[in-house]
Amino acid sequence: MIGRLNHVAIAVPDLEAASAQYRDALGAKVGAPQDEPDHGVTVVFIELPNTKIELLYPLGEDSPIAGFLEKNPAGGIHHVCYEVEDIIAARDKLKEAGLRVLGNGEPKIGAHGKPVLFLHPKDMNGTLTELEQV
């Protein structure tokens, strides 16, 4: 069921500085910031040969990233994202296995324009896990 690693998301307190660090110091291809109001974040994708890094910055006062940065002012890894062929089939199988899907259990459209779901970190070894349909 699980596919390749799509991205690792890192919450950052300064999106411009983090983008510049990846671009200038590490020589990575850095995308433009994109607001994702449904998720309360502004994202920047860093393209790597084998995956992506997603920089997350709060968008609005109700952003879940704002709370994360309050607890982790320097930023840090927020979640990992794996690809799945069929997000509904994956959701149903995981729920049958006792894992909790966050929110109302229905996929939302993510930053790549594809359906996504998040699994509760307490059910995934302390790691917030995103599934994205390919």
C-alpha distance from residue 68 to each of 10, 13, 55, 80, 129 (Å): 11, 10, 13, 15, 15
Q: Which residues have CB under 8 Å from 129's CB, separation 6+? A: 79, 80, 81, 82, 118, 119, 121
Catalytic status, residue 83:
no
Q: Could you give the CA distance from residue 39 to residue 41 in angstroms, rounded to a whole number?
A: 6
DSSP state of 98: T
- What pLDDT does residue 6 have? 97
Cβ-contact 4, 82 below 8 angstroms: yes
Tens digits of residue pLDDT in 68-94: 999 999 999 999 999 999 999 999 999
CATH number at residue 7: 3.10.180.10
**How many structural domains does the chain have?**
1
Q: Could you give the CA distance from residue 33 to residue 46 in angstroms, rounded to a whole number?
A: 11
Please name the residue that has the structure tokens 């200038």: 24
Q: Name the active-site residue from 54, 83, 130, 132.
A: 130
Nearest CA to 55 among 108, 5, 19, 17? 19
Q: Which domain holds residue 24?
A: 2-133
Tens digits of residue pLDDT in 44-69: 999 999 999 999 999 988 899 999 99
